[in-house]
Amino acid sequence: MFEGKRVLVLGLGKSGKAAIRLLDHFGASIVINDGHQAEEIPEYEEYVKKGYDCRFGGQDPALFEEDFDFCVKVPGINYHAPFVLRLKERGIPVITEIELAYQVAKPQHYIAVTGTNGKTTTVSLIYAILKGVKENVHICGNYGIPYCDVVMDYALYENEGHTIVLEMSNFQLLDIKDFHAQVSTVTNLTPDHLDYMDSLDEYYASKMRIYENSDEHDVFIRNLDDDTLTSYLKRFPPKAKIETFSVSKEADCMLKDQTIYYKGEKVIDRKDIKIVGMHNVANIMVAILACVHSGVALSDIAKGISAFKGVEHRLEFVRELHGVKYYNDSKGTNTDAAVIAIKAFEKPVILLMGGHEKNLNVSDVAKYNDHIKTLITFGEAGARFARDMHHPHTYTLPHMKEAVLKAHEIAKDGDVVLLSPSTSSFDEFHNMAERGNMFKEIVNHFE
């Protein structure tokens, strides 16, 4: 398929390495560019032996004047970077790893989920339900598994009819071309990634691309409770059939008297759901609609929901010690996620908040100061968070470890300690999982 094609892979990481694997299988001539030095890349010798053209240690402008049939860019490289814009200016297509895999794969059934919050929980639940009743179901994308690896591992370039559950970030949507999901949704829209996108409008508009290739045979799952989303759907109207959900209004999937219904038929009572918070009721509704439109009976959907215990690093219960409950919400990388986490508990929490400074406004979190018993801020954003939150009981500490220790010191029987940082982890950690694992490690050593 790509024999004789000269392809630039821009950036490594999981998705870049997966793209290289797929391109190599199909005979492409591969050029790799990454900002790290060669000695920092474990696969360097392997790549050289395979004959790849490796350009490491930065982005030499001369590279982007060379001719390529197309470029595969990893999500972490800003699409506004001058060298990326130069490729596009020269008419060289720049695509994502997901788009590359999609172009190679035979027809599959795609369920695609984007939005600011709830993506990982939603795709995890959809996957869990489907795995209980179907064969050949795969989860990938922003979830942490590149779709290129799924295509290669299951030979989806030869086999069709598999179900692909994709979590998609706006970074992965920015450079899609042909990607077409049979079931898609935008869970919600709140401010995020303002350190990457030119504007909030550009961020929101990028999410709408998830359904841009859908047609009247497909389904778009619409959240009736999100006014911002409603306004963007008016600007970018889906061609797909619309199925709605709401936790407070009449909808195809709705909550009534603490029971979730789909088109008047009972699905599950809230008392039979293990994950906490009204936001998770909304996530469950998306999963119900996605699974209904993937041919799953409501009884099997209810069974899958009742067995689901949640996602690691997303309001994850860590332990209870001396009457204090500890929750790890390291995936809460924006302020809306923090609000959702705080509201999930019936009493005020000891909130740990901080990390990499990406200039998010915390006024929406400050509105819930009465839900916060004590605020402990940390990291690059710690001092600003403490100042802008205006909470009467606040500690500011340099690092997350000190923040966790302080929470343990002041917590009393009946308290909830919640790590919901409201920003990314890059000031201290490589990713949110490393941050969440450190939190759990510290908490599990308390005596």
Q: What is the CA radius of gyration of the chain?
A: 23
pLDDT at res. 309: 81
pLDDT at res. 203: 86
Task: Write out pLDDT tens, residues 30-79.
Answer: 999 999 999 999 999 999 999 999 999 999 999 999 999 999 999 888 88
Task: Write out pLDDT tens, residues 374-383.
Answer: 999 999 999 9
pLDDT at res. 311: 82
Q: What is the pTM of this model?
A: 0.79
pLDDT at res. 175: 87
Sorted by where each starts, the structural domains of the chain and their CATH numbers stand as: 6-95 (3.40.50.720), 98-307 (3.40.1190.10), 316-444 (3.90.190.20)
Report the candidate in 341, 425, 446, 309 with the shortest Cα–Cα distance to residue 378.
425
pLDDT category of residue 198 using cuts at 50, 70 and 90: low
- In this model, does residue 267 exceed pLDDT 90? yes
pLDDT at res. 196: 56
- In this model, does residue 346 exceed pLDDT 90? no
- In this model, does residue 193 exceed pLDDT 60? no
Average pLDDT estimate for 304-329: 91
Task: Write out pLDDT tens, residues 93-143.
Answer: 999 999 999 999 999 999 999 998 889 999 999 999 999 999 999 999 999
CA dihedral 416, 420, 426, 432 (to 10 degrees): 90
Average pLDDT estimate for 183-211: 83
pLDDT at res. 52: 97
Three-state SS across the chain? CCCCCEEEEECCHHHHHHHHHHHHHCCCEEEEEECCCHHHCCCHHHHHHCCCEEEECCCCHHHHHCCCCEEEECCCCCCCCHHHHHHHHCCCCEECHHHHHHHHCCCCEEEEEECCCCHHHHHHHHHHHHHCCCCCEEEEECCCCCHHHHHHHCCCCCCCCCEEEEECCHHHHCCCCCCCCCEEEECCCCCCCCCCCCCHHHHHHHHHHHHCCCCCCCEEEEECCCHHHHHHHHHCCCCCEEEEEECCCCCCEEEECCEEEECCEEEEEHHHCCCCCHHHHHHHHHHHHHHHCCCCCHHHHHHHHHHCCCECCECEEEEEECCEEEEECCCCCCHHHHHHHHHCCCCCEEEEEECCCCCCCCHHHHCCHHHEEEEEEECCCHHHHHHHHCCCCEEEECCHHHHHHHHHHHCCCCCEEEECCCCCCCCCCCCHHHHHHHHHHHHHCCC
- In this model, does residue 195 exceed pLDDT 60? no
- In this model, does residue 372 exceed pLDDT 60? yes
Average pLDDT estimate for 400-428: 97
pLDDT at res. 211: 96
pLDDT at res. 194: 54
Task: Write out pLDDT tens, residues 213-263.
Answer: 999 999 999 999 999 999 999 999 999 999 999 999 999 999 999 999 999
pLDDT at res. 269: 97
pLDDT at res. 437: 97
Which region among 75-79, 80-84, 293-297 has the lowest average model confidence (pLDDT)? Answer: 75-79
Mean pLDDT of the chain: 94
